[in-house]
Amino acid sequence: MYNVPAESIYSANHLRPGESIHIGQKLTIPNAKMLRNVISLYPNNKWKYIIIHHTATDIGKASLINRNHQDRGFWNGLGYHFLIDNGTLGKGDGQIEVAPRWIKQQNGAHCKAGGMNEKGIGIALVGNFSQDVPTPSQMDSLVYLLKTLCNYYKIPAYHVKGHRDVDGANTECPGSRFPWYSVRQCLSTF
C-alpha cells in the first residue's frame, strides 16, 4: 500500500520477521509517501476560475482556520474550498484538506474582488509566501489539484490566478515569493 518493504516496517517497529501484529497496533511506516486524496468532483457549471491563496501563517490546519474565519464573521466558516497543509499541527506536508464549502458546492469567502467568491474555487496553502516558499510536497499537491479541477471543470490555465492578480483585489496574497513560474510551467502541460 505504501510501497515500503515489510522488512523495513518490522525493523522500524523493533519486530522480528514473522512476529504477529495485532489489530489496532500502531506501526511506524518508514519513508512512506503520503497517499493522495481522491478529490470528489461535482457536476456544476459555476466554477470558471481558481484563486490561489496563502494563509500568511507559519502553521495551520483547516479546523484552526475555520475557527478563525468564524470569529471574523464568515457564517459558513472556512472561506476556502481546499487547504494544502505544510506538515504542521499533525497534518501531513502536502496533505489536501477538503473544506465543507466544496462538499456542499457553496460559494467561497476568499475573494470578493471580481465576484470570485461566486465563480472561483479557493485553494489556500499553509504558509507565509511573502517570507518563504511552499514546500515541494505542497507544490506537488497544488499541481495535482489544479490539474484535476481544471480538467474536470474545463478551467483554462489563464483563469488560475493569485488573489492579488484579481482586478480590484488589494492584497499581496499569495505572497511575493510564491513560485508562479513553476505553476505556469505545469499548467502549460495540460
Distance set, CA 142 to CA 11, 31, 36, 106 (Å): 34, 21, 11, 21
Q: ∠80-84-86 over CA atoms, to 5°?
A: 135
**What is the rounded average pLDDT of the residues 31-47?**
81
Q: Is the pLDDT of residue 36 over 90?
A: no
Which candidate, 147, 138, 65, places its Cα nearest to that of 96?
Answer: 138
What whole-number distance in Å separates Cα of residue 40 and Cα of residue 37? 9
CA distance 98 to 65: 13
Alpha-carbon torsion angle 149, 152, 156, 159, nearest 10: -40
Lookup: cell for 119: 465563480
The C-alpha atoms of residue 165 and residue 120 are separated, in whole angstroms, by: 13
Q: Domain 49-187 class?
A: alpha beta
Task: Write out pLDDT tens, residues 12-35.
Answer: 888 888 888 888 888 877 766 666
Are the CB atoms for 129 and 177 separated by under 8 Å? yes
Joined grid coordinates for residue 187: 499548467
Average of per-residue pLDDT across 133-155:
96
Of 32-41, 65-74, 109-118, highest mean pLDDT = 109-118
pLDDT of 49 over the 80 cut: yes
Residue 68 pLDDT class (50, 70, 90 cuts): confident
Give the pLDDT score at 43: 93
pLDDT in the model for residue 17: 80
Mean pLDDT score across all residues of the chain: 89
Count other Cβ atoms within 10 Å, centred on residue 147. Answer: 14
Please say whether the beta carbons of 1 and 9 come within 8 A.
no
What are the grid coordinates assigned to 161, written together?
490566478
Given this model, what pLDDT does residue 35 score? 61
For the whole model, what pTM was predicted? 0.81
Section 50-73 average pLDDT? 88
Q: Domains of the chain: which residue ranges? A: 1-33, 49-187
CA distance 106 to 112: 14
Instruction: Look at residue 76 in the predicted model and tell me its pLDDT.
Output: 82
Residue 66, pLDDT score:
80
Q: Which residue has the cell 467561497?
A: 108
Whether residue 38 is predicted with pLDDT greater than 80 in this model: the reply is no
| pLDDT recorded at residue 132 | 96
- Residue 153, pLDDT score: 97
Which candidate, 128, 130, 155, places its Cα nearest to that of 44? 155
Q: Which of 55-59, 88-92, 102-106, 144-148 has the lowest mean pLDDT?
A: 88-92
